[in-house]
Amino acid sequence: MNRFFLSLSRGTERALTLELQELGAKNIKESPSGIWCEHEDPNFYYVLALKSRIALHIYLPLYEFEISSQDDFYDEILKIDWDKHLSLDETFSITANCKSSVFTHNHYLALKMKDGICDHFFYRTKKRPDVDTKTPDKAFAITMNKNRCMVSIDVSGFSLHKRGYRLDSNLAPLMETVAASLIRLSEWDGEKPFYDLMCGSGTLGIEAGLYSSKRYLLQEKNDFSFLKWTQFSNDYYNQIVSKVVEETKENTTIYFNDISSKNVEVAKKNCRRAKLVNNIKFDVSSILDYKPETDSGLVILNPPYGERMGDETKIQKLYQALYEHLKQNFKGFRVSVISSKEEHLQELKFKPTKIYNIFNGNIKCRFALFDIY
């Protein structure tokens, strides 16, 4: 079996586990910093990189060892046969993450590893490979937990939330991977209509559209680091891509709405960039005036928290009015709401079907699912 390690945003573990099960991963296990899984296919990471909407990075573990001092660490790095993973004409980067008393600064750990890699080449050839932190040919990672170290390689070389559709805006957008997690946790079938009614830049609606049409933007972006690796199997990768393209279908109707016409314009532009052009509808109104066009569907709401935008009492009043409005106009719908304030969610007096803890950036949030009868 081949092992893979996936990093993620805090609170998306459950959603990523469900996604990995669907992708056919085996022996899925949570760890404090991510999720491990296994597969009989050593190139399973092609599938993971193409199809995971929730993971941030996918790592192939290369070496694991224990150390008791900084010198030990350097010696272990020097011993690795780096020629198997890097050549002098390739650039590299290192991301470090340490929870250890041997190294207490990520940056210093990364520097020490860089020295070990460069010296490995320099002792024999008097040349060293160059570091490129932005677009490296090989993106290595070092994780240190107490005395235990893992050297791995990041297969994509960039964070997978960078789908490429989002325009810069000063809204408070959800990270694409977090939006995909909320959709997965809402247990949506991808067929019922989807309503992003406080859409801001449209991340939830766009992720829903991609999920519903089984499209994966990163495949279209074609930018993964592993595409340049010498062991890369073009034929095998193309087979996977062809299957992905074959399975693509028309998305269900996605409804976007926001009280701000400016935000709806941003959402429209982002949809175009994501090539989400069919079966989408845009409205500008307060959610309290919004009536759905269908009898059922999924609504996901990401109202202002009052921490980054909006003001506390106004938001509490909005939740109180929202309860009445949903009760009268959204019977037959599932409504999922993310908020950093438990007391706001409690203003929605429906009994939650499920509640999850999830982080939006550094903000600890609750995500509640309500079925409106």
Ligand X SMILES: C[S@@+](CC[C@H](N)C(=O)[O-])C[C@H]1O[C@@H](n2cnc3c(N)ncnc32)[C@H](O)[C@@H]1O
Interface residues with ligand X (CB under 6 A)?
171-174, 198-201, 203-204, 258-260, 263, 286-288, 302-304, 318
Closest approach of ligand X to the CB of residue 193, in Å: 18
Q: Is the CB of 195 or the CB of 224 nearer to ligand X?
A: 195
Q: How far is Cα 292 from Cα 40, in angstroms, rounded to an integer?
A: 46
Closest approach of ligand X to the CB of residue 106, in Å: 29
Q: Which of 335, 345, 340, 334 is nearest to 357 (CA)?
A: 340
Q: How far is Cα 162 from Cα 336, in angstroms, rounded to an integer?
A: 24
Q: How far is Cα 134 from Cα 128, in angstroms, rounded to an integer?
A: 18
Q: How far is Cα 15 from Cα 324, in angstroms, rounded to an integer?
A: 30
Q: Is the CB of 99 or the CB of 268 nearer to ligand X?
A: 268
Q: Is the CB of 152 or the CB of 302 nearer to ligand X?
A: 302
Q: Is the CB of 97 or the CB of 260 nearer to ligand X?
A: 260
Bridge partners of 238? none
3-state secondary structure the chain: CEEEEEECCCCCHHHHHHHHHHHCCEEEEEECCEEEEEECCCCHHHHHHHHCCCCCEEEEEEEEEECCCHHHHHHHHHHCCHHHCCCCCCCEEEEEEEECCCCCCHHHHHHHHHHHHHHHHHHHHCCCCCECCCCCCEEEEEEEECCEEEEEEECCCCCCCCCCCCCCCCCCCCCHHHHHHHHHHCCCCCCCCEEECCCCCCHHHHHHHHHHHCCCHHHHHCCCHHHHCCCCCHHHHHHHHHHHHHHCCCCCCEEEEECCHHHHHHHHHHHHHCCCCCCEEEEECCHHHCCCCCCCEEEEECCCCCCCCCCHHHHHHHHHHHHHHHHHHCCCEEEEEEECCHHHHHCCCCCEEEEEEEEECCEEEEEEEEECC
Closest approach of ligand X to the CB of residue 341, in Å: 13
Closest approach of ligand X to the CB of residue 232, in Å: 34
Q: Is the CB of 114 or the CB of 341 nearer to ligand X?
A: 341
Closest approach of ligand X to the CB of residue 283, in Å: 9
Closest approach of ligand X to the CB of residue 220, in Å: 21
Closest approach of ligand X to the CB of residue 169, in Å: 8
Closest approach of ligand X to the CB of residue 356, in Å: 17
Q: Is the CB of 140 or the CB of 256 nearer to ligand X?
A: 256
Q: Is the CB of 13 or the CB of 176 nearer to ligand X?
A: 176
Q: Is the CB of 189 or the CB of 311 nearer to ligand X?
A: 311
Q: Is the CB of 245 or the CB of 288 nearer to ligand X?
A: 288
Q: Is the CB of 2 or the CB of 169 nearer to ligand X?
A: 169
Closest approach of ligand X to the CB of residue 204, in Å: 5
Closest approach of ligand X to the CB of residue 197, in Å: 6
Residue nearest to ligand X (CB): 200
